[in-house]
Amino acid sequence: MASPGEVSGVVGITELISARDMMRVRYGDFWLPEMFLPGLDAVHARFEPRPSDVFLASFHKAGTI
């Protein structure tokens, strides 16, 4: 039988919330995965946006199709 924090082997919501908070850090006005922090200095030092640049963002693929 599952403990009060678990449902049939699924991680309990309190564990999920605390794990989510540990994996993200606030950087300016954005929440980023901790693993991105080491590369931020390099990006800031080398990236120069131009007026002709296009910024494209989309959701990652999910599902089977």
Residue 27: per-residue pLDDT: 82
Q: Which band of pLDDT confidence, cut at 50, 70 and 90, is reported for residue 54?
A: very high
Residues 6+ apart with CB under 8 A from 25: 31, 32, 34, 37
For residue range 9-50, what is the model confidence (pLDDT) as tens digits?
555 555 655 555 567 888 888 888 888 888 888 888 898 999
Domain range annotation of the chain: 13-46
Whole-prediction pTM value?
A: 0.39
Distance CA 38, CA 45 (A): 12
